[in-house]
Structure 1
Amino acid sequence: MRVTDSENPENPDGPGGARLLTPADVRRLADRFGVRPTKTLGQNFVIDGGTVRRIVRVSGVGADDTVLEVGPGLGSLTLALLPHVAGVTAVEVDPVLAEALPGTVAEHAPDLADRLRVVAADAMRITEVPGPEPTALVANLPYNVAVPVVLHLLERLPSLRRGLVMVQAEVADRLAAAPGGRTYGVPSAKAAWYADVRRAGAVGRNVFWPAPNVDSGLVSLERREAPVADVDRREVFAVIDAAFAQRRKTLRAALSSWAGSPKRAEEALRAAGVDPTARGEALGIEEFARIAEHAPPKEA
């Protein structure tokens, strides 16, 4: 009988010679580098091999993909990704962790070390990355910056065609929400500008060290074309921000500042085929784009 990599006791953690981090490995590495997880950076390190395998599987990445990983931490997900993809570009804001990651990969996956690139930087300041253009975003994102990081990278890196991110469960719900419910809001609408977004599973607390006080969720993103080709994204996002700044108000009232007056807001809404008495939570990204397309001219 043929033995697969996952069944081989000499290589229990996947093809290509990668040995995943155990909970003991994570704590040992943290001690070695003097790392203590901080709330400021939103650090919760994954200690469960099954979880990182699952993320790689659900992400759908393959041999032709260059993966952008944000916040690799001690390398749990990095090691799970490397055997399956052409390369991983890991963006890490913590200089200690950024410096340590190549050594960890060399220790646990020596045959795959040349597939890793580490960028010591804040993901919110990234406008391009060295090496091949990334095709997929796969990351365990810090809870406190998850939404802005996702939106920023989708905007700045058009080569990203898909993604799978692990975020706080509440954030996952907001990103993937459809129009019409309480959860739907600014993150949902803006993410929909770039991608088809859906929930891709739940993750418990005990797969992290330290365990957070909230559950997590997986969010899948598939890049799509802008819903209206000739409208400025910034104008669409301005409409979204205005619509949800006062979400209990009708769009005629909520968009009055954006348009210049309630009357001008109503004119833009009617031109876009949107009921002025509707509220922002009822609109999809296509409607927001049409409103922006019919924005009243700026007054001199």
Structure 2
Amino acid sequence: MSDPTVPPPVTDGRSRLLGPVEVRELAAELGIRPTKRLGQNFVHDPNTVRRIVKAAELHPDDVVLEVGPGLGSLTLALLPAVAGVHAVEIDPVLAARLPRTVAERAPELADRLVVTTADALRVRAADLPGPPPTAIVANLPYNVGVPVVLHLLAELPGIRRGLVMVQAEVAERLAADPGNKTYGVPSAKLAWFAAARRAGSVPRAVFWPVPNVDSGLLAFDRRDAPPGDRVAVFAVIDAAFAQRRKALRSALSGWAGGPAAAEVALRAAGIEPLERAERLDIAAFARLAAARVPAAT
């Protein structure tokens, strides 16, 4: 990967990007049939990947972490815009082919790419050689989109912003504010790390194979977490939403050690005991975690 401080400007060029014919040819060469297990739906529309790169608002000195690059459609669009792309691919066949695809279609950008064969849910900062990532841009597998985003934000503090493509309803939940009917565990936990917003929709027709669900873009910007221990805060979020229809005094009974103890913690955190989980922002959950009285031993 080249020095991220002085990346030379490169225009993307229309010939370097993958279209429907190139995607199918690459898949046939590799003997790949996209699998639901790995959430493989390959983007084959150059205009879509250009749009994603533009919406990501990347800087020339950014190092992008791309999860699940697949055949390289998005990778080829990212490389001209940033100092480097670190692609994490779980499929060893795809991971092995990606550097050659870049070398064939954009040889002047090949030194900006690093590929790691790994599961993004288990990857650690130490697994990623070179400059640390500053942004995430990815077409995430539908079945692991939320845990991947949360894991990477926790593991890689240098990531300042991101744009990910996920199932449309997942994007809606992740971007939801307190009080919204779709606000829940994913949105509350993401709010610990970042401010999120919807950034558009993606039509099904740009994928091969065509998925049976709609896709959406989610953008986020890192912000300072509230005071407190993340593990403890996430535990109270899980407990509160496990029985989201109940008032918090009841919903948090098991977490606190009984309804009375839950009420004490809630009042200490400045929260009405009859409030419901979907009304609390991440700062309130942090105050609540801090107010819990440990059970006597």
Could you say which TM-score interval applies, normalised by the shorter chain? over 0.9
Q: Aligned residue for 1:49? A: 46
The alpha carbon displacement at 1:298 in A equals: 3.5
Q: Residues 79-90 of structure 1 correspond to what in structure 2 (within 5 A)?
A: 79-90=76-87
- 1:209 is aligned to 208
Residues of 1 paired with 2:279 and 2:260: CA distance?
Answer: 21
Query: Which amino acid in 2 is paired with 1:209?
Result: W
The residue identity in structure 2 corresponding to 1:134 is: P
The residue type paired with residue 36 of structure 2 is: K
Q: 3-state DSSP class of the match of 2:217?
A: strand
Distance, in Å, in 2 between the alignment partners of 1:169 and 1:130 is 33
Which amino acid letter does the alignment assign opposite residue 291 of structure 2? Answer: H
Equivalent-residue separation in structure 2 for 1:130 and 1:265 (angstroms) = 46
1:32 CA displacement: 0.5
* Equivalent residue, structure 1, for 2:141: 142
SS at 2:35's partner residue?
coil
Structure 1 residue 299: deviation in Å?
Answer: 2.8
CA offsets per residue over residues 117-166 of structure 1, 9 Å max, x none? 00000001111111100000000000000000000000000010000000
Query: Gaps (5+ residues) in structure 1?
Result: none
Q: Distance in 2 between matches of 1:57 and 1:160?
A: 18
> What is the aligned counterpart of 1:66 among 63, 66, 71?
63
Matches within 5 A, 1:1-300: 12-13=13-14, 19-128=16-125, 129-228=128-227, 231-300=228-297
Q: What are the Cα deviations for residues 43-79 of structure 1, in whole angstroms up to 9, with x where unaligned?
A: 0000011110011001011211000000000000000
For 2:260 and 2:198, the matched residues in 1 are separated by 39
Which one-letter code corresponds to 2:282 in the other structure?
Answer: I
Letter in 2 for 1:160: I
Amino acid in the other structure paired with 1:239: V
Alpha-carbon offset, residue 281 of structure 1? 0.6
Cα distance, 1:181 vs structure 2: 2.2
Q: Distance in 1 between matches of 2:176 and 2:137?
A: 20
Q: Across the two proteins, how many residue pairs are aligned to each other? A: 286
TM-score by length of 2: 0.94
1:12 and 1:192 mapped to 2: Cα distance?
Answer: 37
Q: How far 1:287 sits from its partner (Å)? A: 0.7
Give the letter aligned to residue 253 of structure 1: S
Task: Give 1:211 shift.
Answer: 0.6
- Structure 2 counterpart SS, 1:82: helix
4+ long deviations beyond 2 Å: none
Residue aligned with 2:16, SS: coil
What residue in structure 1 maps to residue 4 of structure 2?
A: none
Q: Counterparts of 1:184 and 1:39 in 2: how far apart (Å)?
A: 27
The amino acid that maps onto 1:130 is P
**SS of match in other structure, 1:124:** coil
Deviation, 1:294, is 0.7
CA distance in 2, matches of 1:130, 1:282: 42
Q: Distance in 1 between matches of 2:230 and 2:254?
A: 19
